[in-house]
Structure 1
Amino acid sequence: MATAPQFQVRADYDAHGITVYQAYPAAIADAALRAGRFVAPFSFGRMTWIKPSFLWLMHRSNWARKPGQERILAVRITRAGWEEALARAVLTTSGPDALAGAAVHVQWDPERSARGAALNHYSIQVGIGRDLIRTFADEWTTGITDLTPRVLKAAALIQGGQAARARRLLPPERVYPLPAALEDRLGRC
């Protein structure tokens, strides 16, 4: 039986878009949800990290319990925007000189289980830099949804020993078919 590659983009996507996840404090989440796009107090002057892995963000935000990450947003972006970001990306392992001028940073971190354990394959994290952040917010983003109630319910189920019920609340993710040039660029196996 063949094993899956360690470095694959897994995501919830369709022919037009891909869903990425971010965690924010209430002020940023509420403003974005009201406007249907990112607006102040969202910072357009710093890198923002997007993650297509729901469980990796749950690990990072402690299921919406980490201070400043109490709201979980599903951000729908165009596939063209996603692939443009990846085409402009530099791997964080490339070193400081390569990263200094990069519009986008990419790093691979161990994927996580629902309980936060590191798995034997990796999840991609994409950092959109200041030079591209307006494009991300104004052109690529097509919708923003608040997943916080679902996240809190799933966390309670997991904590209560009902992981199977919690899994039904998780977004579906499958391998995202990257063009071969992007696979090579991102150092996937």
Structure 2
Amino acid sequence: MELKLKKYNEQLQGWPEKGHHIMAQYNDDKIVVYQSYRKEIGEFALKNQYFGGEFSLDRMTWIKPNFLWMMYRNGWGRKEGQEYVLAIHLKMSAFKRYLENAVYSSYNDKLGVSREEWQNQVKESSVRLQWDPDHDPFGNKLERRAVQIGLKKEFTHSFAHEDILLIENISDFVKEQYQFVLNDDLGNLMIPEEKPLLFNDENLNKTLRLDKN
């Protein structure tokens, strides 16, 4: 795997406990996001290094840069239809473009626009932004918020093909690490090394409601 790994307990010491944070493995050029699929879709993506075959370009697809949030969502690869876990290395420029075009998936007063304006933005945008409670390895909710990004139409097409640098199958790794969770042995749990992401664009950070600590 090209994923960089680090012990969960070691990372935990430096992670923010609350606030809105894009926890991810990234550098200036790329960022890793996660998805889970049934075997047919996963195998096609792994073999061809893009999404096609039974992958639907007409449906919204959700990407998650936070490994443990993905493990909460797919039950550590045990949920039906989510057994094939992929680490997708994306161009950072593409990931930023998604967020620059994103509209919040639900309305709240903090958005700074009226409900009607938000509804119009939703109609026009093909990217959704959603903040959900982050989770620990056991699936317990945390105060920290984790992001997921929904793509459709032209953004799904772009994501499925030209935005991808590498697709890795991490299903076996996930199964191996889940055994430590089952045994309540977090001291040996290894997960992808992650840190909070902030952009050089302060307006974007503000729009995303990203916290700095």
TM-score by length of 2: 0.83
Q: Does 1:171 align with 2:192?
A: yes
RMSD of aligned residue pairs (Cα, Å):
1.4
> What secondary structure sits across from 1:100 in the alignment?
helix
CA distance in 2, matches of 1:46, 1:181: 30
Kindly state the Cα deviation for residue 100 of structure 1 after the two structures are TM-superposed. 2.4
Could you tell me how far 1:75 is from its partner in structure 2?
A: 0.5
- C-alpha distance in 2 between matches for 1:34 and 1:4: 38
Trace 1:74-153 onto structure 2 (pairs within 5 A).
74-94=87-107, 96-153=119-176
Counterpart secondary structure, 2:42? helix
* Paired position in structure 2 for 1:155: 178
* Residues paired across the two proteins, number: 185
Q: Highest CA radius of gyration, 1 or 2?
A: 2
Distance 1:105 1:48 in 2: 10
Q: Which amino acid aligns with 2:204?
A: L
TM-score (normalised: structure 1): 0.93
C-alpha separation in 2, matches of 1:33 and 1:77: 14
Query: Higher relative contact order at CA 8 Å, sep ≥6: structure 1 or structure 2?
Result: 2
Shift of 1:181: 1.6
Kindly provide the CA deviation profile for residues 68-88 of structure 1, in whole angstroms up to 9, marking residues without a partner as x.
111110001001000000000
Please tell me the residue identity of whatever aligns with 1:21: Y
Structure 1 stretches lacking a partner, 5+ long: none
Question: What residue ranges of structure 2 are gaps of 5+ in the alignment?
Answer: 1-15, 108-117
% identical equivalent positions: 29
2:54 maps to which residue?
41
Shift of 1:187: 2.9
